Amino acid sequence: MEEQENETLKMGFFKKVWNSIVKIEKYPDMAAEGIGKACIYTCKLVLILAIVICLGIMFQTYQILQEGTKYLQNEFPEFSYKNGTLSVETEGKITISEKDSYVGKTIIDTKIEDEQTINQYIKEIEESGDGLLILKNKVILKNASMAGTISYEYNEILGQMQISEFTKQNVIDYMNSTKVISLYVSVFITILIYSFMMYLLTTLTNAVFLSVFGYIATYFARIKMRFIAIFNMAVYALTLSTILDILYIAVNIFIDFNIEYFQVMYVSVAAIYLVAAIFILKSEFMKKQAELMKIAEAQEIVKKELEQKEQEDKENAEKREREKEDKKEEKEKNGKKDKDNNMGEAPEGSNA
C-alpha cells in the first residue's frame, strides 16, 4: 500500500500522460491527487498544444514574409504607415486568392470603415478556411487550426517595437534585415498567450461536459462518486484527444489535411476513456467487496470454531471438576469406612 502511494506521489507529467493513455486503471489514483494537480496537468498539456500551434503559425508566417517581400517588391502598390494608420495607394480592395498565398485568402482594403462590409470580408475569409484581412488600423488573421479569428491592432504590435511610421521601401529593407527576428518573437508571444487561454478554456469546458456525462454513467454503473473526482478523471481522459489534436495541427502545418468530424472524434475518444475508467473502478469495487465477503465468511467460520472449542474446553473442565469431586467423595467415604472398622475391633489385652 505504501509503495502504491509513493508511486502516485512520484508520478510526473509524462508518466501521467502515459498512464492516461494506456493504464486507465490508474485514473482513480491520479484523480485522488486533487483538482489542483489535475488543473496543473491540463495547463501543461494545453501549453504543449499552444506551442505547436505557435510553431505552425510561425512557420507559415516565415513563408508569408518571404513570399510577401517578393510580392511587395515586384507587384504591390505603394503604401505608407503613420500613427497607427495604414494607407495603400489603390482605388478599391486588393484580393489575393488562397492559391497565390500561403496564408490563404487575403483581402486588403485600407479605405473601408463600414463594419458591415468588414464583417462580409471576414465571412469570405472564413469560408475559404485560412485567410488574412488587412485594414487601415488592424489586421485580422484566420487559421483553420484555431477557432474564430485573431485581431491585431497596428498600435499594439508596432508600438512594442517602437515603430511609428514606415513606407513600402522601409518594409522591404526591414524584411531583409536581422531586425525581423523581433517581429517573429512578438508574434510568437502574442499567439502563444492567446492560444493557451483559448484552448485552456475549451479543454476545461469539455472536461465539465464530460464530467456530467460521467456522473450519469456512475448512476447506471451503480457506484457513488463525487462530481469533483469525476471531473479530475475527465481531465485525464482528454489526454489522448488533446495529443491527437496536436498531431492534427502538426500535420496541417505542412499538408492541407482536413477531418470533417474531428471534433466529434475528439469528444468521443475522451468519453470512451472516462466510461472505461468508471466501469474499471466499479469492477475493482466489486472485487474488493467479494474479498471482504470472503474474509467475513472466514472470520465467521473461525469464530464458530473458537466458540465450539471454548464450549468443548468448558465441558471438559466441568467433567474434570466432577471427576475430581467424585474422587474426593469416594476417598472421604473410604476413610470413614476404615475409621468405623477400626473402632469396632477390641484392643489387645482388654480382657486381662
Picking from 20, 35, 25, 7, the residue whose alpha carbon sits closest to that of residue 282 is 25
| Residue 269 cell numbers, joined | 475518444
Residues 271 and 252: beta-carbon distance below 8 Å: no
Residues 249 and 53: beta-carbon distance below 8 Å: yes
Q: Is residue 122 part of a domain?
A: yes
Q: Is residue 263 part of a domain?
A: no
Q: Is residue 260 part of a domain?
A: no
Q: Is residue 155 part of a domain?
A: yes
Regarding predicted confidence, which is higher, 172 or 102?
172
At 14-69, the pLDDT tens digits run 899 998 888 888 888 888 888 999 999 999 999 999 998 888 888 877 887 888 78
Band of residue 317 on the pLDDT scale cut at 50, 70, 90? confident
Q: Is the predicted pLDDT of residue 10 greater than 70, yes or no?
A: no
Q: Is residue 49 part of a domain?
A: no
Structural domain range at position 109: 84-163
Q: Is residue 113 part of a domain?
A: yes
Band of residue 211 on the pLDDT scale cut at 50, 70, 90? very high
Regarding predicted confidence, which is higher, 290 or 310?
310
Span 153-174, average pLDDT: 82
Regarding predicted confidence, which is higher, 210 or 147?
210
Span 68-92, average pLDDT: 84
Q: Is residue 64 part of a domain?
A: no
Please count the structural domains in the chain: 1
Spatial distance between the Cα atoms of 203 and 33, rounded to a whole number of angstroms: 19
Helix (H, G, I), strand (E, B) or coil at 244: helix
At 217-240, the pLDDT tens digits run 888 878 888 889 899 999 999 999
Q: Is the predicted pLDDT of residue 350 greater than 50, yes or no?
A: no
Band of residue 290 on the pLDDT scale cut at 50, 70, 90? low
Picking from 258, 150, 270, the residue whose alpha carbon sits closest to that of residue 208 is 270
Q: pTM, whole model, 2 decimals?
A: 0.60
Regarding predicted confidence, which is higher, 311 or 209?
209
Phi/psi of residue 312, each to 5°? -65, -40
Residues 240 and 20: beta-carbon distance below 8 Å: yes
Regarding predicted confidence, which is higher, 145 or 113?
113
Let me know how long the chain is. Answer: 352
Band of residue 119 on the pLDDT scale cut at 50, 70, 90? confident
Residues 322 and 329: beta-carbon distance below 8 Å: no
Q: Is residue 176 part of a domain?
A: no
Summary mean pLDDT of the chain: 80
